[in-house]
Amino acid sequence: MTASATCGDPGSEASAVINDAWVAVRVNAAGCNSDRSIYVGIGESLLDHVAPAITDVFAAVGAAAPEQLGTAPPTASPAPSTAVGGCESFLPATLLASTLGANSATYVAEKGADTPNTPTDAAIPRAGLLICAAEVADQASVGFFIAPQRADLVTDQISTTELTAGLADAALPGALPDEKAVSDCPGQYTCSELFTMGGSGFSIIHQPHADAIAAAIIARAR
Amino acid sequence: MRRRTRSGPDTGAHVEHPAPAPALACSDLVAPAHLTSALTGGSGAAPTVVPAFQPDYDLRARAVTAAGGLQCSWRAGTAPADDFAYEGDWAYFWVDILPNAADVYHPVQLGDAPTTQTKALAP
């Protein structure tokens, strides 16, 4: 069995195609970048250290029947231009600009969308998720994410408490009673909003304007 | 496998078909001892390993699941307080499996470039 292997920042990862599935296995430890992780002193490479576990995963996937591996569709979509149009429909770039106090903003296609580096990259178009990246005049670029008609994804993410540790229930202006939001805004260093609206899910990480962008998306829809 | 009863005569009226194999689950992937050793650090002390995901506020965190794949993650150590924690004693072992993805696979090294480096892991 041979796998692509990488060791280093931010951890140790191996990937392979097995049974037509893209399998990625990674260790990520606190302090990896500063030589203060638990792995200091293991006396072998990190990849060698975790190889028995990685081998188990690859063997399990290899032994599975195709129907045991799930149902991801074999083709990718939509084209990046479609994603830009989707972003515009939820929050026109002019409205994004005014929310940020900028003179202009322009949505741009995500770089590298056709060469996914991870299973997550490859899954984004298959799941119909939108990456909304915008160049903003005289400001840092902005990125946020939309799961059109997949509010369930965000609901699941919010209810998986360890995924959203550090976020608290939030009330976004204009939100309906059955819509959910969690946030750490206004944080000293970060500002994140993860919320549902009208059957869709959204995540915005932007200091200091994530909550303002979220409110603009809701106001636009109502 | 369905349990058969031995208490009555087999009339042949019910033909038993094998149930379809259940979907692969996180608990099928790694021997617990290997999970523990993978998350054992330089101290050599075996940690308590729990199923847990690293905090991630980006909805892309669930993209593989949303696309019909399987995502699994286990943690040793104290859970980080938020998604930008980078110090502590925690370590995660995580697995992403995206089916039907051979056509889009890129072997990646250190984040952005395809790599030709490979490593043999098992016979």
Note the pLDDT tens digit of each residue in A52-99: 999 999 999 999 998 898 765 555 555 555 678 899 999 999 999 999
Q: Are residues A89 and A56 in the same domain?
A: no
CA pair distance B58, A191, nearest whole angstrom: 12
Amino acid A46: pLDDT: 83
CA pair distance A195, A180, nearest whole angstrom: 5
So what's the ipTM on this one?
Answer: 0.90
Position B13 in a domain: no
Amino acid B98: pLDDT: 95
User: How far apart are the CA of A52 and the nearest CA of chain B, in angstroms?
Assistant: 6
pLDDT tens per residue, range A99-136: 999 999 999 987 766 778 899 999 998 899 999 999 99
Q: Which of B60, B110, B112 to mutate to test the interface with A (most CBs of A within 10 A)?
A: B60
Provide the residue type at A220 as one letter. R
Structural domain that includes position A171? 80-221
Contacts of B61 in chain A (CB under 8 A): 120, 157, 163
Position B37 in a domain: yes
Position B6 in a domain: no
Q: Are residues A53 and A92 in the same domain?
A: no
Residue position matching structure tokens 């909304």: A132
Residue ending a domain, choose from A17, A37, A69 = A69
Contact B57 A203 (CB under 8 A): yes
Secondary structure of residue A178 in the 3-state scheme: coil
* Number of domains present in the structure of chain B: 1
Q: Are residues A61 and A85 in the same domain?
A: no
Amino acid B85: pLDDT: 86
- The strand pairing partners of A143, in sequence order, are A133
Position A193 in a domain: yes
Q: Is the predicted pLDDT of residue A40 greater than 80, yes or no? A: yes
Amino acid B115: pLDDT: 62
Contact A119 B30 (CB under 8 A): no
For chain A, the distance separating the N- and C-terminal CA atoms, rounded to the nearest angstrom, is 54
Structural domain that includes position B43? 26-99
Position B1 in a domain: no
Amino acid A148: pLDDT: 94
- Please state whether the predicted TM-score (pTM) of the whole model is above 0.90: no
| CB A169, CB A181: distance < 8 Å | yes
CA pair distance B115, A50, nearest whole angstrom: 20
Position A74 in a domain: no
Tokens in use for A71? 């149902």
Question: For residue A215, which of A66, A204, B15, A45 has the smallest C-alpha distance?
Answer: A204
| CB A20, CB A66: distance < 8 Å | yes
Residue ranges for chain B with pLDDT beneath 70: 1-16, 18, 108-119, 121-123
Residue position matching structure tokens 């078909």: B17
- The strand pairing partners of A112, in sequence order, are none
Amino acid A74: pLDDT: 52
Position B122 in a domain: no
| CB B118, CB A4: distance < 8 Å | yes
Position B119 in a domain: no
Position B108 in a domain: no
Tokens in use for B21? 């194999």
Q: Which of A69, A142, A146, A161 to mutate to test the interface with B (most CBs of B within 10 A)?
A: A69
Backbone angles phi, psi at A107, to 5 degrees: -70, 140
Q: Are residues A22 and A111 in the same domain?
A: no
Residue ending a domain, choose from A23, A43, A69 = A69
Cβ atoms within 10 A of the Cβ of B32, count?
Answer: 12
Q: Are residues A65 and A93 in the same domain?
A: no
Q: Are residues A84 and A46 in the same domain?
A: no
Q: Is the predicted pLDDT of residue A6 greater than 60, yes or no? A: no
Q: Is the predicted pLDDT of residue A7 greater than 50, yes or no? A: no
pLDDT tens per residue, range A154-184: 999 999 999 999 999 999 999 999 999 999 9
CA pair distance B83, B85, nearest whole angstrom: 6
Position A157 in a domain: yes
Amino acid A183: pLDDT: 97
- The strand pairing partners of B75, in sequence order, are B50, B92
Provide the residue type at B114 as one letter. P
Q: Are residues A40 and A90 in the same domain?
A: no
Position A196 in a domain: yes
* Number of domains present in the structure of chain A: 2
Beta pairing, strands A181-183 & B108-109: unpaired
Question: From start to end of chain A, where are the E strands?
Answer: 2-8, 11-18, 21-29, 105-108, 130-136, 142-147, 168-169, 181-183, 192-197, 200-205
Backbone angles phi, psi at A87, to 5 degrees: -65, -45
Q: Is A189 exposed, middle or buried (0-12, 13-18, 19+ CB in 10 A)?
A: exposed
**Chain A residues 41-100 within an 8 A CB cutoff of chain B:** 41-43, 47, 49-61, 64-74, 76
Amino acid B78: pLDDT: 96
Q: Are residues A54 and A106 in the same domain?
A: no
Sheet holding A11-18, edge to edge: B49-51, B70-76, B91-98, A21-29, A11-18, A2-8, B118-120
- Segment holding B119, helix H or strand E: strand B118-120
Mean pLDDT, chain A, whole residue set: 87
- Put simply, whether B60 touches A (Cβ < 8 Å) is yes
Position A44 in a domain: yes
- Segment holding B75, helix H or strand E: strand B70-76
Q: Are residues A113 and A63 in the same domain?
A: no
The vertex-A80 CA angle with A74 and A85, nearest 5°, equals 120
